[in-house]
Amino acid sequence: MVCEMETDQIEEMDVEVLPSMWPENVGTEADKQFNVEKPAGDLDTLKEVTIEETPTIADLTRLPELMNSTQQGSSQLTNLVKQWEYMQDNAVRLLREELKNLNRQREEAEAKELKIIEEYKFESNEPENVPVLDETSDLFRRFRQKKRDALVDSKKIEIYEEFDTVAYWKQKASNLEKMLEASTERERRLVEKLSESLKTMESQSAPVQELTQNLKRAEGFLHFILQNAPIVMGHQDKDLRYLFIYNKYPSLREQDILGKTDVEIFHGGGVKESQDFKREVLEKGKASKREITFTTDLFGSKTFLIYVEPVYNKAGEKIGINYMGMEVTEQVDKREKMAKLREDNAVRKAMESELNKTIHITEETMRAKQMLATMSHEIRSPLSGVVGMAEILSTTKLDKEQRQLLNVMISSGDLVLQLINDILDLSKVESGVMRLEATKFRPREVVKHVLQTAAASLKKSLTLEGNIADDVPIEVVGDVLRIRQILTNLISNAIKFTHEGNVGIKLQVISEPSFARDNALTADTEEQEQNENAIPCLFKKYMQASADHARKYGGTGLGLAICKQLVELMGGQLTVTSRVNEGSTFTFILPYKVGTSDDYSDDQDEFSDMADHQSEPDDTAEGYFQFKPLLGSIYSNGGPGIGNDFLPHKVMLTSPIKLINGFVADPSNNTGQSEMLQLENGGYVDESKLETSSDHCPESAHQYENGNGRCFSKESESCSSSQASSEGGTLEMESELTVSSHREEEKAETDLKETSKPKILLVEDNKINIMVAKSMMKQLGHTMDIANNGVEAITAINHSSYDLVLMDVCMPVLDGLKATRLIRSYEETGNWNAAIEAGVDIKTSETEQVCVRSTNRLPIIAMTANTLAESSEECYANGMDSFISKPVTLQKLRECLQQYLH
């Protein structure tokens, strides 16, 4: 009972803590459902219910029907019934509690009565003065008194008469009677109260009243909330016809809307969309929201946020939709404005950063240009010295070959000078400040020189062709330096990107109507294997076809950009046509003027740097040039040779040979051959030949030395490519067969000559060490061959005899110790069987030749790097004669040579 009381209290407290906004007289638990703070239950259904009584358009007759037929309607009703039942339960519970209270009171009253009677008995049986007046009895009495007070509300019976007299008893009886009366009266009052409260309970809990009250409250609430809300609510049936609608600001009358669809009511943008949206929701059966902009005659352009949910009947079938719309035009406007602002902001920021970047890049470029200009300037001064000296040299007495060499040297120098000037002037070209010169020049010579220069540095098996039409004048007026530059650029590009075949220049005169009185000169350069997809960016500065290309071919990427700008500056145009695997043709058309014939004789001196007229008198009319690759042909022929009577590598099938390529005829070319030899012999350089040949012409030999070094590092690559290139053309083969026979003889000669000098072989894989050792040997007056590993060393020893071998211990493929063992075994047995077993490829036919020489023990000196693996004991154990610890010094080398070379 106490427990129940407590829960009751708690429930009441709940209501106090969370005061509802409903009137206080209906503060039952069920009302908490409508508490704003505690939204619970089916709010939507309530709204629907209240629509019935809103002062707006509604189909009142249809609504109850709807309420009855739809699931939501029925759930609404069951909800109300539940509420009512709950309230009834509550009332019953309250009544029960009341009853219990009354019962308890009655029980108390009865208990009191009983006490009174007991007291009476007690008092009668045990008079008060029986115990002795001591403290304990007094205490006991007081305690009893207290106990009685607690039970019977301290209602003491006051008796004034003497104890145990008649009057006393009378008075006591009358007193008790009074108390009994009071008690009865109280009981009666309580019963009355009970019946009264029962009555009020009954009157309050009439279900209809309760419901009506609830509905009224809900309606009041909804009305309060919705009275100014810009909301349109409605219900549409399956065909999307309005069954009822709530609109605070109705612009249409009820009959205009009800029973019609959106499309029937409105016209304009968005209506169809909303209709479709509603249909979609109806079909999908899933409530959703969408923003739709209406542009109707009725209310102009407005954006509505529309919420549509499907409505089901009790059987779960869709019977229509509930629709709720709110105008959000302003919000949408604001939002869009915000988005636009944000977008603008982002764009501005991006532009800003882009601008910053550009500024940065521009600054960088400026700096780079500045640096380039300074650098170019620095290069220009010494270079002009070189060219000047060469020019002075050309005035001295020279033989024909020297003169030709010098000519090429000067024109190349000129070109470099010019290129540097161009780098300096590039900005000028771009801003159109570049000045063009108008001088007379001979196009044939220009073409020839360009090709000649290109051929001089050609490292591939390409044929360079110059083809000049007969009607091209001997002299034209133009800026020869620029034209040369363009041609050189195009040709060098062509060579760079062509792997085999022809590269050529064709020069012809075309009549171009747009050039009025001028004729136009076209020059085509052809090249192979231009990558087609790279064409759009060909003419961009510093742009290369791809990162791969840059790595593969190198270069600045400036060439074509300069060409194009130069051609355009001269009033011409540069175009390119290209097909993958078939080649590209760069064509440029330039207007030109013909030089008058009077000038011809005067100008001879002017062009003396380009062509020596005395030595090549017919050159001016020459229409066809061809330059064969020097290296390529040597590659294909193999054997070494000192080519004083070296055949020029020219096959002139179409026109008579009038021009002899100085480079081909020059003996200094043997430097190129020694590279070749190294390839033929499996990778070691015959240094002695390099030396002897360069004695002839120190300058040119020096010029080649750089190239030599480069070729060196690419040995293995060039070896394979040379084989490929030798298969290239069939035409060349005939002429070269004869050449190779010459060489065979010469090889024997050179071999004989060189036996007098001690031959040293260095077996070493580290390029640096090779370079250093070679240089040291040179200082000591010796030359040596190089092998890069044990296998190469064995091959070299097999090919020719050596007086001393310097052997690195740590090497790839075959290390020094093993190689030495194999060599020793060869010396003992006279055959290479051990080496062949070890996997070294040796040609047996040649072995027999050299076999005779291998009687002496070949001194092999180890070069160790002082690591544990390379102990001196091990060197000796493997048949080495001595060892030099690395790094090799001049002193050590000298001592070693003194000991082993006699």
Binding site residues, another protein, CB under 8 A? 378, 382, 709, 713, 765-769, 771-772, 775-776, 778-779, 808, 810, 812, 865, 867, 886-890
**What token pair was written down for 484?**
């040369």
Task: Measure the CA dihedral 472/474/476/478, to 10°.
Answer: 100
Q: Scan for tokens 């077993």, then name that residue.
A: 837
Shortest distance (Å) from residue 771 CB to another protein: 5
Shortest distance (Å) from residue 381 CB to another protein: 8
- Strand-pair partners of 804: 760
Shortest distance (Å) from residue 867 CB to another protein: 8
The whole-angstrom separation of Cα 20 and Cα 40 is 13
- Strand-pair partners of 125: none
Shortest distance (Å) from residue 886 CB to another protein: 6
- Complex with another protein: residue 183 or 766, whichever CB lies closer: 766
Contact 885, 831 (CB under 8 A): no
- Complex with another protein: residue 769 or 825, whichever CB lies closer: 769
Contact 770, 764 (CB under 8 A): yes
Shortest distance (Å) from residue 892 CB to another protein: 10
Contact 716, 623 (CB under 8 A): no
- Complex with another protein: residue 227 or 889, whichever CB lies closer: 889
At 309 the three-state DSSP class reads strand
The whole-angstrom separation of Cα 705 and Cα 623 is 34
Residues 6+ apart with CB under 8 A from 573: 567, 588, 589
- Complex with another protein: residue 382 or 839, whichever CB lies closer: 382
Shortest distance (Å) from residue 549 CB to another protein: 21
**DSSP 8-state code for residue 651:** -
- Complex with another protein: residue 658 or 892, whichever CB lies closer: 892
Shortest distance (Å) from residue 796 CB to another protein: 21
Shortest distance (Å) from residue 769 CB to another protein: 5
- Complex with another protein: residue 288 or 867, whichever CB lies closer: 867
C-alpha 579, offset from chain centre: 32
The whole-angstrom separation of Cα 141 and Cα 149 is 12
- Complex with another protein: residue 46 or 805, whichever CB lies closer: 805
- Complex with another protein: residue 109 or 772, whichever CB lies closer: 772
Shortest distance (Å) from residue 780 CB to another protein: 10
* DSSP labels, 104-122: HHHHHHHHHHHHHHHHHHH
The whole-angstrom separation of Cα 652 and Cα 657 is 6
Contact 531, 494 (CB under 8 A): no
Residues 6+ apart with CB under 8 A from 196: none
- Complex with another protein: residue 6 or 378, whichever CB lies closer: 378
- Complex with another protein: residue 394 or 885, whichever CB lies closer: 885
**What token pair was written down for 728?**
């290239």
What one-letter code names the amino acid at 434? M
Name the E strands within 431-491.
439-441, 462-468, 476-478
- Strand-pair partners of 697: none
Angle between helices 559-569 and 480-497 (to 10 degrees): 150
- Complex with another protein: residue 319 or 776, whichever CB lies closer: 776
Shortest distance (Å) from residue 889 CB to another protein: 5
Shortest distance (Å) from residue 772 CB to another protein: 5
Shortest distance (Å) from residue 707 CB to another protein: 13
The continuous run of DSSP H or E covering 505 comes out as: strand 501-510
Q: Which of 502, 393, 405, 488 is closest to 446 using CA atoms? A: 488
Contact 808, 764 (CB under 8 A): yes
Question: Roughly how many angstroms between the first and final C-alpha of the chain, as a whole number?
Answer: 132
Integer-rounded Cα radius of gyration of the chain? 59
Q: Scan for tokens 């004695």, then name that residue.
A: 695
Compute the half-sphere exposure of residue 501: CA atoms within 13 Å on the CB side of its CA. Answer: 16
Shortest distance (Å) from residue 773 CB to another protein: 8
**What token pair was written down for 749?**
């000669």
The whole-angstrom separation of Cα 537 and Cα 543 is 7
Pairing assessment for the beta strands 318-327 and 462-468 based on DSSP bridges = unpaired
- Complex with another protein: residue 748 or 890, whichever CB lies closer: 890
- Complex with another protein: residue 131 or 887, whichever CB lies closer: 887
**What token pair was written down for 142?**
């007081």
The whole-angstrom separation of Cα 544 and Cα 431 is 23
What one-letter code names the amino acid at 128? E
Shortest distance (Å) from residue 382 CB to another protein: 8
- Complex with another protein: residue 526 or 870, whichever CB lies closer: 870
C-alpha 208, offset from chain centre: 73
Contact 33, 40 (CB under 8 A): yes
Shortest distance (Å) from residue 696 CB to another protein: 15
- Complex with another protein: residue 278 or 774, whichever CB lies closer: 774
Q: Which of 445, 456, 432, 435 is closest to 669 using CA atoms? A: 456
Shortest distance (Å) from residue 768 CB to another protein: 4
- Complex with another protein: residue 483 or 811, whichever CB lies closer: 811
The whole-angstrom separation of Cα 211 and Cα 717 is 101
- Complex with another protein: residue 514 or 891, whichever CB lies closer: 891
Shortest distance (Å) from residue 767 CB to another protein: 6
**What token pair was written down for 401?**
């070959």
**What token pair was written down for 13?**
């407290």
Shortest distance (Å) from residue 595 CB to another protein: 39
Q: What are phi and psi of 126, to 5 degrees?
A: -125, 95
- Complex with another protein: residue 243 or 809, whichever CB lies closer: 809
What one-letter code names the amino acid at 661? N
